[in-house]
Amino acid sequence: MKRKTIKGTKEGINKQINRIMNIPTEGKVLLDFYAEWCGPCRAMKNTLEDFEKNSRIPLIKINVDEESTLAAQYGIRNIPCFIGLEDGKETGRKVGMNSLPQLEELVK
């Protein structure tokens, strides 16, 4: 995968990264930062599938090993990490194993 160099202000860089990753800047979205080797991330699979089936909120999965720049931009230190966004701004974050109601609360 070819890496892109992104320059500019922090706000401008955030917008560019979000555009490259197709992260919506309008409405609500749930980001899931994970890694293939992460046991708790794999254990969340069924809960995330339920979220996708039962919610109108988009779920965007971001592999931290493949998208380390984006993970750093969002300050990801532990995984799984779930971030709720509304109109491009963070509304909440939860780290570790979470239930379906906890994920829904992030994007309420």
Q: Which residues are catalytic?
A: 38, 41
What is the rounded CA–CA span in Å between residue 17 and residue 3? 12
CA neighbours within 13 Å on the CB side: how many for 87?
A: 0
Cβ atoms of 83 and 68 within 8 Å: the answer is: no
| Phi, psi of 26, rounded to the nearest 5 degrees | -125, 140
Distance CA 80, CA 48 (A): 11
